[in-house]
Structures are given as structure tokens and as C-alpha cells.
Structure 1
Amino acid sequence: MAKRDDRLRETRSLEGFLGAERARLFDDASPERREQLRAAERTRAVYSAWNAVCGGTREGKHATGLHFAAERNELIVYMDSPSWTQEMTMLREIVRARMAARGADVDAIVFKTSRAGYQAVGDTPQGPRGRIDTTPPPRTPQPRIPLTSDESDRLDREVAPIEDAALRSALKSAMKASFEWSKTRGE
């Protein structure tokens, strides 16, 4: 009971208390258990750094899960669609550098697409990583507003310098679709 009385008579900060508890746990642990505790702290640091860098961002909202492979020092991030997987793969070195600045230096970040039917945490009525209905909602196509003859002539002049006929035709089709779509939206 003496130990309990000592704790009740002394005021400690939360940081001081947590540090003392950590030291107590490590002192009483076997070497294997110490290694497990260090691995858990490392995992927490990696997840904390990910949340500091990507939590609340538009990119982070598309993450469906995280897994830290401590033996490879690799963070695996599951994204809700292939397009987000590709975008985050292009941004991985930026994310890795920002995580390192927060004390979590991982050797690699690997982005993978979640299995079909999963959405990011909080986006589903069933809760985190819940199964969703994958049936796309019905779409009503908007009628396109065709280009005027002046706009079409200007488009022809813009692509005329391209010598390769196939490339010129493909670019013209893409530009025409973009212009018509912009006109439909009122831009």
C-alpha cells in the first residue's frame, strides 16, 4: 500500500507518468518482450506520422487501410481506387520525406488498391472499411453543345502544324470533346 500512497501524494505531468511507465515496462521485460515493445512503438510512430502528413487531406480520405511491415521497414497503404493508387504512387517520395521529418523514416511506401467494394474509413454507412454496394448509380448523359463553324475552323488551324496525321486526328478529337464539354458546362 505504500507505493499507492506515494503516487497519490505526488503530482506528475502526463508526459512524466508515461515516461516512468515506459521505463517500468522495459525494465521488467525480457529481451524478446522489449523487442516487441520497440516494434509497437515504431509502428505507432509510423502511423502517427502518416496521420500527421495525410490525415484530413483529400488524398488521405481515400486510404482504406495501413499496414507497417517492420521487418522490411515498409508502409503499405491501401487506396479505394486504382486512380488514387496511381496518384499516391507518384507522390510517395514526398509523403515519405514528410513522414521522415516527423520522425518516421521508412525505407519504402507501397500503395495498393483495396479489394472491390471497399471505401475509405468513415465513408460507408457500415463504419470503417465496410462493404458497400458496388452498383454504379444511373447516369443521365448531358447533351453536348456542338462547336460553331468558327470554333471548328480555329481548332483545325491549331492542329494543322502537326505533321503526323494520326496524332493530328487524335489531338483534334480530344480538343473537340474538351471544348464541347466546356460549353455544355457553361465555362
Structure 2
Amino acid sequence: MEYTEVEQKFRLVGPAAGLKERLTALGARPGSPSRQVDTYYNAPHRDFLDQEVVSEWLRVRVEDGTASVNFKRFHPIASPVKTHCDEYESTVADAEAVRRLLASLDFTELTVVDKTREEWHVDGIAVAFDRVAGLGEFVEFEFKGEAATVAEATARLEAFIGGLGLGPGAGLGERVRLGYPHLTLGLE
């Protein structure tokens, strides 16, 4: 499933300590926290916002001295409930050159998402604890293992989340079915 992302995001409603304790018990360890500044752009030839349900994003990310460019197309396209996305991402040597390139081609900046992320890995799952400026705290579970289909990856991701036994006090709140740019732009 190269170039396909399957993830689920939840609001954190309390301390993440209970979830982190459970991940530690499963053998996961945290990576170093990093700051990610994501700038999202709109295309001049196809207005990403001109759909009832926004399903595409173009992003330039700067993270701790590195940079990448990324395009995501969420599926099903017209559905407000997405199951996965096509994701095409590549590192770039010069984020400012990419910004200028996009501006020269009449791409316009839509929003900036500034977050601090601490990522854990266990059993083919990445668990990212995000503190997003202006939005609050979230946790994302992304399937990183091998799967033949989106349905298989989703089932394994849901089994992992369900197997965490997260009861009251674990800090996990409602599931969020929108991306951070949706939230910063008020596209709920």
C-alpha cells in the first residue's frame, strides 16, 4: 500500500499519561519531540476549497531544519467520512525555493498549522501526540505495517486502538474526522 495513508485522529481531553503508559507497556518508546510548521496551498487550476467536501491538500512542511512537500487526496472523494488518502511526499532541500516556486505559479497560501509532535512506534503503528497552536491536543494513530488492502489496514488499526483498553482517565476523547487544515479554516 505504498502511497496510501490510513489513520485515525482523536482529541485528547486530559493528560496523555494513561495512553503513554499503555504504549510503554507494549514496548513503544517516544521519539524526540519536533516542531512541524505546515503551510497549505490552493492550486490556481483547481480550487481545493470549491467542493462541498474538501478532499485535497498541498503542503510544504518545515521540521527541525528539514523540509518536505506533500499532496494528499482523501477517499471517498465526496464523502465527509474518509477512510484513507493517497499521499505523495518527498523531501526538499530548500523550502523557501518551493514556496517561491508555488507563488510564481499562482498557488496561494491557505493556512499554516504549527504543531509540536511526539511520535511513538509499536507493532506497525505510529502514534503521534500533537499539540496544535490554536486547536489543542490530539493523538493520531497511523498504520505503518504491511497490508494488502485499505480494509485490512483499517481493521488492524482499529484492533490496535481497541486493544489499548482505554477507559476513563486515559485522555482519549472524540474521534476527529478532519485534518488540521480543515479545523484551522473552520471547514467542519
TM-score (ref. length: structure 1)? 0.19
Whichever structure has more strand as a proportion of its residues is 2
Structure with bigger RCO (C-alpha 8 Å, 6+ apart): 2
TM-score (ref. length: structure 2)? 0.19
